[in-house]
């Protein structure tokens, strides 16, 4: 039997695809802790060398770009977070954590969260389900060993959430995922229409440094927005989130945002956010726990 084209699918088929993983009830709380008007959840995906490695790209020239993230970017990010006393979440592929165990210890010592981000930044959609599961379990064990506590959240590498990711997330007993985009505010994930108790902390490419600032020498990819313009977009996102009494979530990468001119723009944004005084800074795990408890 030849495979049906999507336009030939019966209603059951397209409904089944859509229902597999779906947004359930909104978990936006009536109020944030301490009377804050907006929650700010900053995250950094410490991918470093795993971006080229996952594609089998082993040239020192490519790897050095990732190495910058650990050697320069991450310490700079940590200093900035310390200055504003902001707890953040660091999503780290296990191979990156094994390459930089001291960095994991620095995150933990500063009170930040370390959470799952794959084994070697693998593309889940191209893996067998058994391989995706095995890599996720191995990554959880590795992060637990290096960070001293077991991770409670996951961000799939490249937000590549497969048909099997939710089942693996449940098997691992994780409390939240941060890879999906069905809302601005936290929500509960449904699996085939059933509530899972797992919180989604939604992401968006708009609130990610990579699409604006990445550069590929031999490809067509070029940075298309100056860093201060990126900060301007994020400032509008924050202002509107505050207006809504909601969540402002950001995804950044030490090897991308960690450069001097970009840190200047991020600093300007944090000055703006911090100037309001009615902000609750929290890790993704803290946001997930709080919104579930309030629901
Ligand atoms: Zn990543």
What is the CATH classification number for the domain harbouring 167?
3.20.20.370
Q: How far is the CA of 47 from the centre of ligand 1 (A)?
A: 5
Residue 216 lies in a domain: yes
Q: How far is the CA of 36 from the centre of ligand 1 (A)?
A: 30
What does the pLDDT read at residue 282? 98
Coil, helix or strand at residue 142? helix
Q: How far is the CA of 116 from the centre of ligand 1 (A)?
A: 10
Percentage of the chain with pLDDT > 70? Answer: 100
Q: How far is the CA of 3 from the centre of ligand 1 (A)?
A: 33
Residue 125 lies in a domain: yes
**β strands within the chain, DSSP E:** 21-26, 38-45, 89-92, 113-116, 153-154, 176-177, 187-191, 194-200, 247-252, 279-281
Q: How far is the CA of 117 from the centre of ligand 1 (A)?
A: 7
Q: Contact, 88 vs 44, CB < 8 A?
A: yes
For residue 132, give its domain range: 21-294
pLDDT of 234 above 90: yes
Q: How far is the CA of 132 from the centre of ligand 1 (A)?
A: 16
Q: How far is the CA of 213 from the centre of ligand 1 (A)?
A: 14
Average pLDDT along the chain? 97
Residue 16 lies in a domain: no
pLDDT of 69 above 90: yes
Q: How far is the CA of 5 from the centre of ligand 1 (A)?
A: 32
Look at the chain and report how many structural domains it folds into: 1
pLDDT of 1 above 80: no
For residues 265-282, average pLDDT: 97
What does the pLDDT read at residue 3? 85
Predicted model pTM = 0.97
Residue 5 lies in a domain: no
Q: How far is the CA of 259 from the centre of ligand 1 (A)?
A: 17
Residue 7 lies in a domain: no
Query: Rounded CA gap, 122 and 236, in Å?
Result: 33
For residues 69-95, average pLDDT: 98
Q: Looking up tokens 């890790």, which residue turns up?
A: 283
Coil, helix or strand at residue 133? helix
Per-residue pLDDT of 196-233, as tens digits, reads 999 999 999 999 999 999 988 889 999 989 999 999 99
Q: How far is the CA of 28 from the centre of ligand 1 (A)?
A: 26
Per-residue pLDDT of 124-152, as tens digits, reads 999 999 999 999 999 999 999 999 999 99
For residues 24-31, average pLDDT: 97
pLDDT of 79 above 90: yes
């Amino acid at each position: 039997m030849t495979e049906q084209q999507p336009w030939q699918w019966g209603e059951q088929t397209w409904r089944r695809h859509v229902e597999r993983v779906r947004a359930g009830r909104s978990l936006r709380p009536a109020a944030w802790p301490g009377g804050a008007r907006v929650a700010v959840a900053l995250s950094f995906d410490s991918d470093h060398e795993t971006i080229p490695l996952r594609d089998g790209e082993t040239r020192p020239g490519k790897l050095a770009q990732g190495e910058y993230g650990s050697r320069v970017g991450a310490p700079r990010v940590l200093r900035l977070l310390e200055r504003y006393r902001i707890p953040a979440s660091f999503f780290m592929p296990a191979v990156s954590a094994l390459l930089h165990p001291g960095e994991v210890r620095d995150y933990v010592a500063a009170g930040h969260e370390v959470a799952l981000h794959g084994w070697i930044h693998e593309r889940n959609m191209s893996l067998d389900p058994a391989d995706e599961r095995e890599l996720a379990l191995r990554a959880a064990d590795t992060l637990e060993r290096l960070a001293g506590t077991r991770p409670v959240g996951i961000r799939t590498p490249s937000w590549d959430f497969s048909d099997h990711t939710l089942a693996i997330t449940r098997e691992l007993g994780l409390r939240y995922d941060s890879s999906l985009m069905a809302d601005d505010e936290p929500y509960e994930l449904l699996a085939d229409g059933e509530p899972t108790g797992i919180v989604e902390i939604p992401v968006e490419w708009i609130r990610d440094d990579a699409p604006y600032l990445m550069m590929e020498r031999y490809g067509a990819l070029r940075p298309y927005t100056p860093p201060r313009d990126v900060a301007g977009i994020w400032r509008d996102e924050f202002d509107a989130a505050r207006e809504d009494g909601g969540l402002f979530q950001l995804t950044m990468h030490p090897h991308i945002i960690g450069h001097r001119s970009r840190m200047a723009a991020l600093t300007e944004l944090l000055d703006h956010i911090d100037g309001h005084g009615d902000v609750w800074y929290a890790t993704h795990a803290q946001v997930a726990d709080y919104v579930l408890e309030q629901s």
